Amino acid sequence: MALPAETYLVFLAGAVLLNITPGPDMAFTLASSIKGGARSGIAAAIGIGCGSLVWAGATAVGLAALLSASHHALTIIRIAGGCYLVYLAVQTYRHRRETIEATGAGDAVAAFRAGLITNLLNPKVGLFYIAFLPAFTSEAAGPLWAQVLFLGAVFSVSGVIVLIAVAGAAGRLRDRVASSAALRARIRTASALVFGGLGLHLIFARNP
């Protein structure tokens, strides 16, 4: 499997942007860091990342099964995923100034467990992977499931790195994000543009 370098770089840039967008994962990591210190925040980040990796594996397996069952599955996945990303773009922009409250875990083990379980029980994570990852795949780069698994792993790891950084700067970052509606709006507007652009690309792109 060999993804084009430019595709990988665009994906990585989009992944980092989406991971720094304030959301439930960041709110939980911040809350855990403030309640139990950086150790609890880091544990929460790792738990969230492990849950994301499980979803990435499940998405890869599910896509492989769908593609083996139907030659038209990829087209359906791309169009449905594109529509979902456009929906996410609209919702992200509509709620660009809102704050997200979360109750943190003070103990590192509890923080890891809560981050893992919350992520695993959130079907929106799976929907996001199904919608987002195929935008960066190519039939010329090898099996779709392997590409999805690789991209999902990269997205999960980059998310953990961002959240660990959040845990390390919890106090300052919480005050900054909570007090600046303009900052939240700018980050979420940029994310909405990424969602919308990828969504439209998926809807109108043709399979090779």
Q: What is the pLDDT of residues 196-206, one digit of tens each?
A: 888 887 788 65
pTM metric for this prediction: 0.81
- Write the pLDDT tens digit of every residue in 84-95: 889 888 988 887
User: Which range (83-87, 134-138, 161-165, 180-184) has the least confidence?
Assistant: 180-184
Q: Do the Cβ atoms of 106 and 169 come closer than 8 Å?
A: no
| pLDDT value at residue 50 | 95
- Write the pLDDT tens digit of every residue in 133-143: 887 887 777 78
Residue 118: band (very low, low, confident or very high) from pLDDT cuts 50, 70, 90? confident
Q: Quote the tokens at residue 186.
A: 């700018």
| pLDDT value at residue 187 | 79
Which of the pair, 20 or 43, is modelled with greater confidence?
43
| pLDDT value at residue 188 | 83
Three-state DSSP string of the chain? CCCCHHHHHHHHHHHHHHHHCCCHHHHHHHHHHHHHCHHHHHHHHHHHHHHHHHHHHHHHHHHHHHHHHCCCHHHHHHHHHHHHHHHHHHHHHHCCCCCCCCCCCCCHHHHHHHHHHHHHCCHHHHHHHHHHHHHHCCHHHCCHHHHHHHHHHHHHHHHHHHHHHHHHCHHHHHHHHHHCHHHHHHHHHHHHHHHHHHHHHHHHCCCC
Neighbours of 4 (CB within 10 A): 12
Ordered by start, the domain boundaries in the chain are: 23-96+106-204
